[in-house]
């Protein structure tokens, strides 16, 4: 960091997005302590992990993984909240770059050809200004060196928030909610469907249901975090 950047840091200090402590010069978005201690799932190493099993018998998914465990009141929840509601797009991009590095070590994920983020409805996108899942996908793109298609899978109507809904209520809320606008661009491809948090899997199941209508498509899933243990 040059002296000018040091001066900027003096008046505009940088803080860890997970714990709030000051970042050192070499640190980005989250501090080294949080990077080491945030609860990683390592699900990408286990083909029978809880996220993968979640979709068994429900929808055709090849591989599924999440970077962190999600618990209410945790630092991971704080990261997700700031990413979604406080304009911290850099959090999604940073975590995507980090997770993409690990996914690239796994042959099952190295065959992915296209990243497709779970879409927001256009009205919510206008209010928020960006799609948090797309920001995560852009980070994955940097590490995995594969393109992002954020316009082909669309949300056809707005839906109620999934918070506090039962598992069936979540499924009912998103059933038939997604569509593919240009299936020819996805035909025969291995797609990585990207989301922020996996709880019941209802949204991802609905997205995968729409994508599975495309001939020859293969679907894997990656998320920042999951509440599944």
Same domain, 93 and 51: yes
Considering only CA atoms, which of 119, 135, 112, 137 is closest in space to residue 61? 112
pLDDT digits (tens, 9 = 90+) for 211-229: 999 999 999 999 999 999 8
Average pLDDT, the chain: 91
Same domain, 44 and 142: yes
pLDDT of residue 74: 97
pLDDT of residue 176: 81
Same domain, 174 and 69: yes
> Is the pLDDT confidence value at 90 over 70?
yes
Same domain, 79 and 166: yes
CA distance 182 to 8: 46
Considering only CA atoms, which of 31, 180, 177, 194 is closest in space to residue 99? 194
CA distance 225 to 50: 12
The answer to whether the predicted template modeling score (pTM) of the entire model surpasses 0.85 is yes
Q: CA neighbours within 13 Å on the CB side: how many for 78? A: 12
Same domain, 32 and 107: no
Residue 168 near residue 205 (C-beta atoms within 8 A): no
CA distance 66 to 44: 7
pLDDT of residue 11: 45
Q: How confident is the model at residue 112 (pLDDT cuts 50, 70, 90)?
A: very high
Residue 150 near residue 119 (C-beta atoms within 8 A): yes
**Count of C-beta atoms within a 10 Å radius of residue 57:** 6
For residue 173, how far is the Cα from the chain centroid?
20
Same domain, 31 and 70: no
Q: How open is the CA angle 98-104-110, to the nearest 5 degrees?
A: 140
Same domain, 83 and 196: yes
pLDDT of residue 157: 83
Same domain, 49 and 155: yes
CATH number of the domain bearing residue 83: 3.40.50
The whole domain housing 15 covers 1-37
Same domain, 87 and 126: yes
Same domain, 5 and 80: no
Percent of the chain with pLDDT over 70: 88
pLDDT digits (tens, 9 = 90+) for 149-200: 999 999 998 765 555 555 555 556 676 899 999 999 999 999 999 999 999 9
- Per-residue pLDDT, averaged over 34-54, amounts to 97
Same domain, 128 and 177: yes
| Number of domains within the chain | 2
CA distance 122 to 129: 10
Same domain, 111 and 148: yes
């Amino acid at each position: 960091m040059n002296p000018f950047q040091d001066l900027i840091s003096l008046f505009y200090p940088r803080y860890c997005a997970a714990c709030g402590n000051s970042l050192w010069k070499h640190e980005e978005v989250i501090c080294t302590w949080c990077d080491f201690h945030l609860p990683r799932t390592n699900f990408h190493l286990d083909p029978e992990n809880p996220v993968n099993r979640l979709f068994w018998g429900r929808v055709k998914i090849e591989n599924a993984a999440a970077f962190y465990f999600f618990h209410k009141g945790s630092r991971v929840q704080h990261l997700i909240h700031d990413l979604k509601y406080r304009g911290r797009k850099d959090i999604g991009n940073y975590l995507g770059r980090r997770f993409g590095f690990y996914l690239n070590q796994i042959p099952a994920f190295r065959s992915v050809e296209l990243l497709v983020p779970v879409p927001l409805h256009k009205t919510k996108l206008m209010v928020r200004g960006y799609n948090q899942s797309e920001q995560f996908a852009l980070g994955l793109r940097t590490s995995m060196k594969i393109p992002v298609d954020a316009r082909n899978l669309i949300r056809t109507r707005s839906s109620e928030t999934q918070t506090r809904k039962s598992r069936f209520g979540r499924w009912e809320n998103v059933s038939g909610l997604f569509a593919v606008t240009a299936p020819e661009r996805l035909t025969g491809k291995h797609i990585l469907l990207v989301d922020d948090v996996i709880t019941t899997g209802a949204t991802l199941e609905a997205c995968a249901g729409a994508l599975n209508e495309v001939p020859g498509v293969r679907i894997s899933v990656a998320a920042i975090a999951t509440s599944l243990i």
